[in-house]
Chains A and B, each alone.
Chain A
């Protein structure tokens, strides 16, 4: 039973380019959470999605960032016109239901480490 899969593991983008980060939740999971970790810091909540719905995007920057979780396929975190400050590790977690995640803790993917040059 594969865990939460994220790709790519490492992504290098020049300033102004677009970054697309993918997250495939665990089998049977329909809830996805994205967190960002700046170097030497803790994780910051970005967005919570269910299939085809954004439930809470209160942690997402207002501009350039968007997220989706389509009916088919992985969840995508998209960053347009990247800047150096976007360099961070982006982690995704999934759960079957909200209650299960609250009880058992997040299962995080291995993350995507974005470097903007």
Chain B
């Protein structure tokens, strides 16, 4: 079945360092979404990527969709303690459907 792997599983960084999480799929994707979940909280939608090679920015966050539409990355520049949480990708295979497969998540801890 469809596999969605995120690496790394855990990441500890010093405040001010950069952070990147990667999402890899075994099959070509229609689109991909990214979510952030704070400890004890619920997932919050960050962004959706649809086009091959697409790059989107939100302040210190940069999202990229691979050319082959099989992988994606989320990069945070100069992390802050407020960035702590788990970052999930969610992939959609066929487009226009409701069923998203969530990745395993990357748990980010930022040390002040």
Interface, chain A (partner B; CB < 8 A): 31, 33, 35, 41-45, 48, 56, 91, 98-99, 101-111
Contacts of B102 in A (CB 8 A): 35, 42-44
Contacts of A99 in B (CB 8 A): 96
18 extra A-B contacts, CB within 8 A, seeds A35-B102, A91-B43, A105-B47:
A33-B98, A41-B104, A42-B88, A42-B103, A45-B99, A45-B100, A48-B99, A56-B98, A91-B42, A98-B97, A101-B98, A102-B98, A103-B48, A104-B45, A105-B33, A106-B35, A107-B45, A111-B42
Q: How large is the interface on B (under 10, 10 to 19, 20 to 34, 35 or more residues)?
A: 20 to 34
Q: Is the CB of B42 within 8 A of A102?
A: no
- Binary flags per residue of B80-100, CB closer than 8 Å to A gives 1, else 0: 000000001010100111111
Interface hub of A33, A102, A110 (most chain B Cβ within 10 A): A102
A41, A45, A56, A98: which contacts B96 (Cβ < 8 A)? A98
Contacts of B100 in A (CB 8 A): 45, 106
Interface, chain B (partner A; CB < 8 A): 31, 33, 35, 41-48, 88, 90, 92, 95-105
Contacts of A106 in B (CB 8 A): 33, 35, 43, 45, 100
Interface hub of B33, B41, B42, B43 (most chain A Cβ within 10 A): B42
